[in-house]
Amino acid sequence: MKFKLIYPKWNKLPGQTTFNLPPHGPVVFAASLPEYVDISFTDENVENINYDEDCDLVGISMMLSTQVKRGWAIAQEFHRRGKQVIFGGISTMLHAEETLLYGDSVFLGEAEGRMEDVLRDWERGELKKIYNFMNNHPDVTQVGPARRDLYKKDLYNHKGVQMVDLFHASRGCRFSCYPCAVSYLGGRSFRPRPVEKAIEELETIDNNRLFIVDNSLAQDKQWEEELFKAMIPLKKQWISHTIDDDPKILDLAAQSGAWYVYQAVFDTSDYIKERIKRYHEHGIAVEGTILLGLDNQTEDDILRLIDFLLEINLDLAEFTVLSPFPHTKAYDDLVRQNRIFDHDWNHYNAGQVVYQPKHMTPERLQELYDYAWETFYKDESQEEKMFKLFTTVMLREMEKGTYIPRRRELVNKSFGKDVVRNFAN
């Protein structure tokens, strides 16, 4: 049985450095397919879709709201060729009602242990319109290892440098943060993978650099401690979201190769300043994530926040404007107040204002967002700051004996395309 798995492309934010990382959702899903299935994977961000490739069933895996319209269009192309299409993934769950209009079937929830039955239905010509496993989670021990063998690895290489591989160590979230839908998607309890299972998968990854994509590892200290301890011998270098602000955890994280973490900077408090300092004291760099446009921010607050960022030695900063994704409290609040004016999911990219902010016009918030990027990177560009981080990791790898030089044969390629070099006179 030939299954064509597709990850739709989306428009990247203008003015920002584009890196195409190997997508995680599709290869995690692929691991849940029975062994007899022959999978062909296409990430449309790095290669074109061959609509005429021989296949029996098409799966479209979507993570972002900015992918859904493209995913629906792809499904229509396959329908024209008489193929059936099943949708799954995070943004399928966020936009399920609309996606139902375009798919022969929509899979909601986590796929481990479910796909044998789905494919049996398909073979009998009885594919259901909805497979609903929301909040009916499989045993987390069934998760992984992801099918990274499906990647065309050279397409995730920029000028000879391999991009990080993605990995997840847990599911669900016990927090219900204002702009976030993870607790809706994965349930409101934290479900860590057994450490030995996580390590078993990490050992299979042929890459010394990882992005651990869990939205917060800081949910169970004992597990976090055990995970980091077990990771030390692997000598990987890794990026993650927040980790616990505890000296023992930070020390273990550093020993296990914490390269940099994403840390939300939501105010100008000493708490934030100290927190970033503590990461730095452990040799862990920090990329600040700064959400603009919340109802408690005036123009002055945003301007003060930007000044503050320049004082606290962030290694990188990523600015976003609030995108009210469905199934978040932000969305509920703005819907009730009738403040969402743009319902085009392509604009829900965290860089475009789609709602009426409380203390300013949408246009002014958009200007402040642009100003934030420009101001933070005025003296040293994003590429220069990234290069510094990259140098740090190379030096560490050289010390540990794990450094792999860039691949010379790919220095003129970037994500599968030829690099156009503009030499000055």
The rounded distance, in Å, linking the Cα atoms of 322 and 305 is: 16
**Per-residue mark of binding to other proteins, 75-114 (x: CB under 8 A):** ---------------------x-----------x------
Nearer to other proteins, 50 or 337 (CB): 337
Contacts to other proteins from residues 279-318, by CB under 8 A: 294-296
- Residues from 197 through 226 that contact other proteins (CB under 8 A): none
- Whole-number Å distance between alpha carbons of 380 and 18: 17
CA–CA separation, 378 vs 333, rounded Å?
35
Number of residues that bind other proteins (CB under 8 A): 27
Give the Cα separation of 214 and 219 in Å (integer). Answer: 11
Q: Which is nearer to other proteins, 184 or 279 (CB)?
A: 184
**Interaction mask 6-25, other proteins, x per CB under 8 A:** --------------------
We find the least distance from the C-beta atom of residue 132 to other proteins, in angstroms, to be 5
| Site membership for other proteins, residue 271 (CB under 8 A) | no
Least spacing, CB of residue 275 vs other proteins, in Å? 15
| Residue 341 touching other proteins (CB under 8 A) | no
Which residue's entry shows tokens 């074109």?
A: 48
Among 48, 80, 139, 338, binds other proteins (CB under 8 A): 338
344 class by beta-carbon count within 10 Å (0-12 exposed, 13-18 middle, 19+ buried): exposed
User: Does 178 interact with other proteins (rule: CB under 8 A)?
Assistant: yes
Residue whose CB is less far from other proteins, 327 or 413? 327
Stretch that binds other proteins, among 311-319, 330-338, 340-348, 361-369 (CB under 8 A): 330-338
Nearer of residues 190 and 369 to other proteins, judged by Cβ: 190
Q: Rule CB under 8 A: is residue 274 a binding residue for other proteins?
A: no
Minimum CB distance to other proteins smaller for 136 or for 381: 136
Task: Quote the least distance from Cβ 104 to other proteins, whole Å.
Answer: 18
Region binding other proteins by CB under 8 A among candidate stretches 3-11, 141-149, 168-176, 230-238: 168-176
Residue among 181 and 350 whose Cβ is closer to other proteins:
181
Shortest Cβ 339–other proteins spacing (Å): 11
Minimum CB distance to other proteins, residue 267 (Å): 9
Nearer to other proteins, 338 or 425 (CB): 338
The amino acid sitting at 420 is V
Query: Is 330 among the residues that bind other proteins (CB under 8 A)?
Result: yes
Rounded to a whole number of angstroms, the minimum distance from the CB of residue 396 to other proteins is: 37
Backbone φ, ψ for residue 166 (5° rounding): -95, 150
- Of 116-145, which residues contact other proteins (CB under 8 A)? 130, 132, 134-135
Among 11, 176, 361, 391, binds other proteins (CB under 8 A): 176
Residues paired with residue 105 on neighbouring β-strands, in sequence order: 86
Quote the CA–CA distance of 250 and 125 in Å, as a whole number.
53
**Interacting residues with other proteins between 244 and 263 (CB under 8 A):** none
Q: Give 10's contacts (C-beta < 8 A, 6+ positions apart).
A: 45, 64, 66, 67, 70, 346, 349
> Where does this chain bind other proteins (CB under 8 A)?
96, 108, 130, 132, 134-135, 174-176, 178, 183-184, 187-188, 294-296, 326-327, 329-330, 332-333, 335-338
